[in-house]
A and B are shown apart, each in its own frame.
Chain A
């Protein structure tokens, strides 16, 4: 077992999957000699060769499209989109093709590809490098969408994504890439792609978060504990499909819920989760569902991004509003 950062865990999972299955290949911009701009694919070229680690021309739509073509032909491509802001041209391929081959051909063709991309802000990056577009992908039928919140989870979820027979969008919170280390066993064990993870038990309020916001929620739970409030923290991890059972069961126990997302508020997955709680857990609610989210603004440039990103203080305030209700 080794202490790894999240980006090292991604690298470990990629290497593991490539060693286990010759049909797994990695492609994208600068993933070869350079090892990826965040070093997620570092060393893979040397280990697996240029036929399995492909530096592509600078063409995001074609990266997604050719990955789809490879996947239909039986490969398991893992394509990297270098930064979140460059991911939008891939939506045509994901929405119109990758997610539909199985349905359109009644199962004759399928598309087991993974599209990896960094996401989110908090590293003072330049423009178009800090967005949180997960809801766009989660709205596409036929895709799975997952976001790890820790090195161990990144390893397990990425293995699951690569082994999944359908297309998976795998978003990696940039600010967690090197934020902390965890012991990660290279045991080849995949994490379930349809499950929330309960990271902390509590009886008073449920904090629901994913990706980079999980750490903020855990921090908030510590602060709430100091004030005598026991918060339960759930890491949603996989956003499509959402494990609403675990969320609703938790809210049934606590009666209060704060949903935290870095993405802009409107149309985000927090709304979907809130709707499911309202539909199936209304009678257990002791307070209105709170949402702590990014603002409905353009992602600010680095000098103001701390004013955009939801943080533990806002989560604590929301939890306290819920506690004080009624």
Chain B
């Protein structure tokens, strides 16, 4: 038996910021669009500062999200506060939208666990470094919502590389068969460090992997925040109403290195990168807002000023934050500290490094 299938491709704005058709209802609210634009600019300014701090030895290895802001912001904007986000390690825009503070992000990437003790979204998961291993958690979180009859949704964001992992296949399969309120958003930025999307899988799209799990899968222009927001929103609301899990592949491009420890010029042609700069997500939404008379040069200047001041203040606060007490290494290992660990704690404190 052969089945034919088609993977839909969602796009609202073309790279020049021109609508490609009638905009979905959510994209017809200019205030929402301005909020999306501001969030993407804020993410990019944060990214730039984080990279600058790393380059000057004041932050650890950092994974920039340059060029992929629309995926993170668009996914998060489709969620409600009571939903739960399970990010990979490149979704700063989603975390910032959800209320994780720039200071917390700087602390985390600067090597301080307090950066994952979010004051805002208390139930959101910390970033996940072992690729794709957070996807089964999203299944568990979604199952928890379903068992408690709560109208909440777990949203996990993963990279294109993660779709090659067993964790991904296992997670979407279970989310499908149990009809769970879980949405999986792929930030397909074309590169898993040095391995391009074309060498990751023979599948034509990543979204079609949803078919095998029995859940809806769609592709969207991942440089189009409106398209990401619309597609994820549709998936999230369907899940919330009991319609089950979904997969959204947002097709974008990693304009930066994999991390600050990477040098993409070793494996990637600069010309390819330059081409993709013409499609990046900020410019097109700005052009659109400008075109409908909702974004003037003065708005842009004011935004940059405000956001830069916020990020600079967060960086200053981060740099002024003393390291935790060494005892904190031990204090959160267990709720009730075993005797042998208490002994090691004492030894550690007595043998503080010179």
Contact = CB atoms under 8 A, between A and B. Distances in A.
Interface of A: 25, 51, 56-57, 59, 61-62, 64-75, 77, 89, 92-93, 96-97, 102-110, 141-142, 144, 164-166, 194, 241-242, 244-245
B174 interface: yes
Contacts of A245: 339
Interface string B174-202: 10010000000000000000000000000
Contacts of A242: 340
Interface in B137-185: 137-145, 147, 154, 166-167, 170-171, 173-174, 177
A75 B130 contact: no
Nearest to A110: B335
Given A66-B139, A97-B137, A61 B144 contact: no
Contact of B130 (A77, A92, A106): A92
Per DSSP, chain B at the interface is helix
B113 interface: yes
Given A62-B170, A165-B336, 17 more contacts: A59-B170, A59-B173, A62-B167, A66-B136, A66-B137, A66-B171, A72-B125, A73-B140, A73-B144, A89-B166, A93-B133, A102-B334, A105-B113, A107-B332, A108-B116, A166-B335, A242-B340
Interface residues of B, number: 43
B140 A69 contact: yes
Given A66-B139, A108-B116, A57 B173 contact: yes
Contacts of A69: 136-144, 154
B142 to A, nearest CB: 8
20 contacts: A51-B147, A57-B173, A57-B174, A57-B177, A62-B167, A65-B171, A66-B174, A73-B141, A74-B144, A102-B332, A103-B113, A103-B332, A106-B116, A107-B332, A108-B122, A109-B126, A141-B333, A165-B334, A194-B339, A241-B339
Contacts of A66: 136-137, 139-140, 143, 171, 174
A256 to B, nearest CB: 24
B9 interface: no
A199 B229 CA distance: 64
Contacts of A74: 144
B144 A96 contact: no
A71 B139 CA distance: 12
Given A107-B117, A107-B332, A62 B125 contact: no
Nearest to B84: A73
A104 B137 CA distance: 15
Given A69-B143, A102-B332, A165-B336, A108 B117 contact: yes
A13 to B, nearest CB: 20
A165 B173 CA distance: 29
Interface of B: 84, 113-114, 116-118, 122-123, 125-126, 130, 133-145, 147, 154, 166-167, 170-171, 173-174, 177, 328, 332-336, 338-341
A154 B142 CA distance: 32
Contacts of A102: 332-335
Contact of A194 (B135, B333, B338): B338
Nearest to A165: B335
B133 A59 contact: no
Nearest to A70: B140
Given A74-B144, A110-B335, A244-B340, A65 B328 contact: no
B57 to A, nearest CB: 24
A165 B335 CA distance: 6
Contacts of A72: 125, 137, 140-141
Contacts of B125: 72, 109
**5 interchain residue pairs of minimum CB distance:** A69-B140, A65-B136, A73-B144, A241-B338, A62-B170
Contacts of B138: 69
Nearest to B122: A108
Contact of A61 (B154, B167, B177, B328): B167
B55 to A, nearest CB: 26
Nearest to A243: B339
A73 B143 CA distance: 10
The CB with the most chain B CB atoms within 10 A, among A61, A64, A144, A194, is that of A61
A141 B335 CA distance: 13
A71 B143 CA distance: 11
Contacts of B171: 62, 65-66
B339 to A, nearest CB: 7
Given A68-B136, A72-B137, A106 B167 contact: no
A69 B136 CA distance: 7
Contacts of B174: 56-57, 59, 62, 66
A96 B138 CA distance: 15
A46 B311 CA distance: 56
Contact of B341 (A51, A70, A73, A241): A241
Contacts of B117: 105-108
A189 B55 CA distance: 57
The CB with the most chain B CB atoms within 10 A, among A66, A77, A89, is that of A66
Contacts of B143: 66, 69-70
Contacts of A109: 123, 125-126
Contacts of A110: 335
The CB with the most chain B CB atoms within 10 A, among A56, A61, A62, A242, is that of A62
Nearest to A238: B338
A194 B137 CA distance: 29
A103 B171 CA distance: 25
Nearest to B112: A106
Given A59-B170, A194-B339, A241-B341, A65 B334 contact: no
Nearest to B145: A73
Nearest to B336: A165
B118 A108 contact: yes
Contacts of A105: 113, 116-118, 126
A73 B145 CA distance: 9
B98 to A, nearest CB: 14
A241 B167 contact: no
B166 A61 contact: yes
